[in-house]
Structure 1
């Protein structure tokens, strides 16, 4: 099985019932459970709320058009769209896609490893809320995102708030006994994320913290600048529904 095939299969873990139930309610508790029993709480309430002060430090650094990878309930997509910034959200969870649509955000129900509209023309890609872990192979994900952004484009990625560099198998669980299937995930602190970025041709342009969260701005090594709306893919190209 190739790394891409494994990543595509793994993302079905986020389509499991516990995640859909939590998104529908707008609240947890919801966890990632490791095979040894360790639990990582997931901040569903924050994901379903309007952008907070830390989120706005990301939003202020976006140059359109913006691709939000693993957009979840779509708070960042909806905010950018409301501000007139060309944006598209991606998520593999139909519940998250539906929530994003209700918030007024353009979104596709699709994996980042599937063919996407406007590949190589996005001004900014977002990997917020730990989404550097998608597929369990950060280098494979960073390589893929480099093919998505335009020359001179950037990736805004959220790191774990402390030093960590691990690959693990997890599943989504809630407090009512609902659980999804096992899938690979990764967790990277700022140092590990910077190292993975360097190994995949990214340049760390900026690192900052806000409200206990840590972020990195990564630039593609190619020269040139992104020119906003000139790169906007036509809405007819990607639609607004749950397309695969």
Structure 2
């Protein structure tokens, strides 16, 4: 699998590499949009590095086959899937995240979700959680890609923004607690109504949506 991060700027990469630093320290990151300086999204990397919680595990309970986590980070969902007897693969542009996932026992590859992935078109369930609907700054393109990755009738489980009205794309930067900043990268924030519209444009059908543990999800079907 080819890493295309040189052509597509990735979350938290470049500059002072704050995402890689946070992965090593279980720190927090601040996601900002220069056009909206008063609005900051705080991301707890320590939660991503911890074991999957009850809500995470529930996302896997509807899987009937192999699971692919798009933007897997340090791999908690991969480990959870394996414990449930589900084959799983993670894809992430971050070498640090992939290395952590592999050390945890997960199967992960470094690269862009927009490049070919192993067993493309055969995955039962694709996960786009932890804000990863923002990957690439184009939700329709990301969902279209997910539709190609899963099998016909496969599931795409998306975590949506807590702001139901969110539907914006922008150029973001990430900064850690020590002020280390990333290069700018394209990002998006999508609430449930907008996700349904983007999914339809990508050829996916919304089957159900729910809230659990203060997080919001939608299941799409290819």
Partner of residue 35, structure 1? 34
Q: Give 1:140 shift.
A: 0.7
Deviations 1:68-124 (A, max 9, x none): 000011100111123221110000011111110111100001110112111111111
Superposed counterparts of 1:54-133, under 5 Å: 54-133=55-134
**Contact 1:158/1:216, CA 8 A, preserved across alignment:** yes
Contact 1:8 1:111 in 2 (8 A): no
1:214 is aligned to 2:213: no
RMSD between superposed Cα atoms in Å: 1.6
Counterpart of 1:201 in structure 2 is 203
- Equivalent position of 1:177 in the other structure: 179
**Residue 161 in 1 paired to residue 162 in 2?**
yes
Deviation at 1:180, TM superposition (A): 0.8
Q: State how many pairs are aligned.
A: 214
Q: What stretches of structure 1 of length at least 5 have no aligned partner?
A: 221-244
Q: Return the alpha-carbon distance in structure 2 between the equivalents of residues 23 and 161 of structure 1.
A: 24
* Native 8 Å contact 1:8 1:135 kept in 2: no
CA 122–7 in structure 1, closer or farther in 2 if over 3 Å, else same:
farther
Distance (Å, rounded) in 2 between the aligned partners of 1:62 and 1:8: 33
C-alpha distance in 1, partners of 2:12/2:111?
12
The structure-2 alpha-carbon separation of the partners of 1:145 and 1:7, relative to structure 1 and needing over 3 Å to count, comes to: farther
Give the secondary structure class of the aligned counterpart of 1:155. Answer: strand
Contact kept in structure 1, 2:5 and 2:112, CA below 8 Å: no
Partner of 2:25: 25
Change (3 A) 1:18 1:6: closer
| Structure 2: tracts of 5 or more residues without a match | none
Are 2:13 and 1:15 aligned?
A: yes
Q: Distance in 2 between matches of 1:14 and 1:73?
A: 14
- Residue aligning to 1:152: 153
Q: TM-score, normalised by structure 1?
A: 0.84
Change over 3 Å in CA distance of 1:123–1:147 after alignment to 2? same
- Alignment partner of 1:126: what SS? strand
- Greater shift in the superposed pair: 55-64 or 150-159: 55-64
